[in-house]
């Protein structure tokens, strides 16, 4: 048997980092930036007004009050987007809109709420210091500043930043396209009727969703029955569109463990027993250079295997550190036992109160018991050299995506 760490190291030593791709900005949402992006101009590019109001010379309104307002002639309007160079002299005001360039000679903006809103002349009833409500050129980003670098996941705020510095296209590591295939003659599509002995396919949906959570593009493939020729043909067909493949089922010791049967000795695929629970039977290798993860069919085993092995691999393919799920230290709420020599992942409910995490093992720890997994938000890690953990112990818990 190999250890969890050995199996993960084998995987990470073999998955390729996807080559960078030049994409239109919107297409790059969720992908990982593969270049350094610098601002070609400062942001804002010019001094501009932070408020709708009046551009003035601050000293002209220094004594303005409700009782004795300053009255200034208004020389015109400056709107956002106006390009004409404008200027005012002391004793004058210009009506100005938020985002409009400050006229030369002015050094403060009086918001419209402090005035009578006049258009020919304006009565200003409060004073303001020099610089009031002016957004200075470069106070967001200075010219040449690096605003995003390689390894940055492009979410809404980062996409906004790149657009703000004028980028229409960016170089990214594309989201890995991952084909997910369930095998098993007992499987039926949800939404169809079940005959005796049949169950609805849950793994392909669950694993495709997990691919998306890990930053990939998931392609769920209709399940295939336990027919070696069909399984191999389907896998070969899918290689065309896949950066990685995931199968579930057919990797254990059964007479019809078809994935193991057809992939043994193909490419670099190897099947091993990993000292973990759930998730003991695992397979991994490259098929024509494409990583394939053959996960066990029990739903909880497939899920745990994904989080422990496939997720880090998909991160590595995106050029990111292959980090495990976030780990929190928690106090165990009930006793837990584990087999010797295996790393056990116990489904648990993690809660946070008064500065402390507590984790309660979920009812139903069988690897077929999806309900317990679906109600859990953490996986309690019981290390290989631990067989009993009494309530009150400090444990490490993988925090599941929420
Ligand atoms: N004699 C042995 N039997 C088993 C061993 C063993 O070491 N010796 N290991 C057990 C462990 S541990 C696991 S995990 C499973 C793994 O089996 P397979 O990967 O071959 O998976 P299947 O036999 O195809 O299915 C197992 C179980 O899961 C259900 N299943 C499969 N696919 C789906 C799906 N897409 N959606 C929902 N449920 C699915 C399937 O119906 C079976 O009940 O092997 C043990 N046996
Ligand atoms: O790995 Mo099996 O995953 O122990 O049920």
Task: Note the pTM of the prediction, 2 decimals.
Answer: 0.92
Ligand 2: which of 281, 297, 303, 306 to mutate, most ligand atoms within 8 Å of CB?
A: 281
Is the ipTM value over 0.95, yes or no? Answer: yes
Domain 21-43+139-173: assigned CATH number: 3.90.105.10
Cβ–ligand 1 contact at 301 (below 6 Å): yes
Give ranges for CATH 2.40.340.10 in the chain.
327-399
Give ranges for CATH 3.40.980.10 in the chain.
4-18+175-317
Give the separation between CA 214 and CA 328, rounded to whole angstroms. Answer: 19
Domain 327-399: assigned CATH number: 2.40.340.10
Considering every ligand atom shown, identify the ligand nearest to the alpha carbon of residue 249 and give its number.
1
Ligand 2: which of 271, 301, 343 to mutate, most ligand atoms within 8 Å of CB?
A: 301
378 CA from centroid of ligand 2 (Å): 18
pLDDT values of the chain reduced to their tens digit, one per residue, 402 residues? 999 999 999 999 999 999 999 999 999 999 999 999 999 999 999 999 999 999 999 999 999 999 999 999 999 999 999 987 789 999 999 999 999 999 999 999 999 999 999 999 999 999 999 999 999 999 999 999 999 999 999 999 999 999 999 999 999 999 999 999 999 999 999 999 999 999 999 999 999 999 999 999 999 998 899 999 999 999 999 998 999 999 999 998 877 799 999 999 999 999 999 999 999 999 999 999 999 999 999 999 999 999 999 999 999 999 999 998 999 999 999 999 999 999 999 999 999 999 999 999 999 999 999 999 999 999 999 999 999 999 999 999 999 998
CATH topology of domain 4-18+175-317: Molybdenum Cofactor Biosythetic Enzyme; Chain A (3.40.980)
Give ranges for CATH 2.170.190.11 in the chain.
48-135
Cβ–ligand 1 contact at 261 (below 6 Å): no
Q: Which tokens in the block code for residue 351?
A: 């809660």
pLDDT at site 354: 94
| Strand residues in 63-204 grouped as ranges (E) | 70-78, 93-96, 108-111, 121-124, 134-135, 146-148, 169-173, 177-183, 187-188, 199-200
Give ranges for CATH 3.90.105.10 in the chain.
21-43+139-173
Residues facing 359 on adjacent strands: 332, 350
Which residues lie closer than 8 Å to 354 by C-beta, 6 or more apart?
Answer: none
pLDDT at site 86: 87
259 CA from centroid of ligand 2 (Å): 16
Domain 48-135: assigned CATH number: 2.170.190.11
pLDDT at site 255: 78
Considering every ligand atom shown, identify the ligand nearest to the alpha carbon of residue 367 and give its number.
2
Q: How far is CA 23 from CA 30, 234, 393, in A?
A: 12, 30, 49
pLDDT at site 256: 77
């Amino acid at each position: 048997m190999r250890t969890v760490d050995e199996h993960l190291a084998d995987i990470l030593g073999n998955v390729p980092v996807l080559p960078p791709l030049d994409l239109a900005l919107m297409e790059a949402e969720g992908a990982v930036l593969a270049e350094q992006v610098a601002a070609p101009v400062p942001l804002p590019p010019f001094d501009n007004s932070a408020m709708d109001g009046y551009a003035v010379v601050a000293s002209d309104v220094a004594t303005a009050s409700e009782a004795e307002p300053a009255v200034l002639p208004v020389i015109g309007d400056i709107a956002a987007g106006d390009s004409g160079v404008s200027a005012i002299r002391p004793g004058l005001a210009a009506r100005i809109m938020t985002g409009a360039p400050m006229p030369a000679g002015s050094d403060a903006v009086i918001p419209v709420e402090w005035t009578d809103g006049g258009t020919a002349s304006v009565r200003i009833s409060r004073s303001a210091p020099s610089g009031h409500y002016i957004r200075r050129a470069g106070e967001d980003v200075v010219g040449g500043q690096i605003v995003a670098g390689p390894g940055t996941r492009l979410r809404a705020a980062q996409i906004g930043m790149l657009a703000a510095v004028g980028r229409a296209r960016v170089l990214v590591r594309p989201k890995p396209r991952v084909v997910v295939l369930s095998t098993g003659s007992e499987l039926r599509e949800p939404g169809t009727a079940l005959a005796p002995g049949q169950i609805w396919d849950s793994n392909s949906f669950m694993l495709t969703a997990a691919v998306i959570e890990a930053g990939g593009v998931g392609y769920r493939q209709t399940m295939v029955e336990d027919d070696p020729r069909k399984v191999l043909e389907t896998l070969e067909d899918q290689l065309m569109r896949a950066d990685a493949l995931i199968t579930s089922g057919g990797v254990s010791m059964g007479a019809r463990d078809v994935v193991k049967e057809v992939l043994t000795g193909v490419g670099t695929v190897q099947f091993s027993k990993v000292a973990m629970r759930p998730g003991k039977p695992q397979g991994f290798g490259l098929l024509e250079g494409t990583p394939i993860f053959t996960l066990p069919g029990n739903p909880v085993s497939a899920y745990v295997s994904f989080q422990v092995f496939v997720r880090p691999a998909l991160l590595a393919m995106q050029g990111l550190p292959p980090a495990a799920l976030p780990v929190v230290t928690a106090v165990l709420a009930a006793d837990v036992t584990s087999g010797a020599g295996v790393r056990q992942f116990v489904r648990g409910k993690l809660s946070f109160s008064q500065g402390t995490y507590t984790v309660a093992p979920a009812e139903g720890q069988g690897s077929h018991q999806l309900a317990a997994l679906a109600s859990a938000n953490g996986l309690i890690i019981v290390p290989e050299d631990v067989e009993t953990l009494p309530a009150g112990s400090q444990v490490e818990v993988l925090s599941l995506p929420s």
